[in-house]
Amino acid sequence: MRLGADLQAFAARIGHGFARPDLLVRAVTHASIATPTRPDNQRLEFLGDRVLGLVMAEALLAADRAASEGQLAPRFNTLVRKETCAAVAREVGVGDVLKLGRSEMMSGGRRKEALLGDAMEAVIAAVYLDAGFEAARGVVLRLWGSRIGAVEADARDAKTALQEWAQARGLPPPAYTELGREGPDHQPVFTVEVRLSTGEAEIAKAGAKRQAEQAAAKALLARMENPNG
């Protein structure tokens, strides 16, 4: 099998020449266009998630030899979560080479965070199966790049941090409410409010409900920790 020009260019962008081009084709094939003779990328996604996790765990241990498990775990979660995989996918143009069914394509599948993140994990698995762990590690470290060194010393997600802040003060967990959803189905904008039992609240908007919740939590936590700021 020979790769088309678009996939050849993509392979060059991630820095790996495939001895088995069929692996890359499978990695970018979404279930919406799969057939019995054209498998989708779901099994590769499963494997890629584990390969990515091992690479990140090793990288974090090497980057900070004094960090405790409690410090490393949130950093790890930040680097392997779907949003980060999708961000890396956008940088290397995964969306441009995704093979999608017509309905998924019409609904903006090339921009969907879940599809991009899943495909990025599948690509990592494709490299691993094509050339082994060292090759996969090299690709991951190149693509994640400065994210590894720049991950926050305390990378707990904002929702967890806000909940811990509330619990430490004897308060129940913050409540999240979706206030609205605007825009087309393929590019929605969610408006979410987070509120403490004591009445303080913040509102945020984002292209995914979870992102809006995180943004609202971050804003509220910042206000509660620095009320005079």
| pLDDT tens digits along 11-44 | 999 999 999 999 999 999 999 998 888 999 999 9
| pLDDT tens digits along 137-146 | 999 999 999 8
Contacts of 78 (CB under 8 A, 6+ apart): 84, 151, 152, 155, 157
Per-residue pLDDT, 117: 95
> What percent of the chain shows pLDDT beyond 70?
97
pLDDT, mean of residues 118-128? 98
Among 22, 5, 31, 185, residue whose Cα is nearest residue 115: 31
With a cut of 80, say whether residue 208 has pLDDT above it. yes
Per-residue pLDDT, 177: 97
In one letter, which amino acid is 38? R
Neighbours of 8 (CB within 10 A): 15
pLDDT, mean of residues 197-213? 92
Per-residue pLDDT, 83: 85
Per-residue pLDDT, 111: 87
Does 113 qualify as catalytic in the annotation?
A: no
Which residue among 40, 118, 121, 213 is the active-site one? 121
Does 64 qualify as catalytic in the annotation?
A: no
pTM above 0.85, yes or no: no
> What percent of the chain shows pLDDT beyond 90?
63
| pLDDT tens digits along 71-122 | 888 889 889 988 899 999 999 999 999 999 998 888 888 888 889 999 999 9
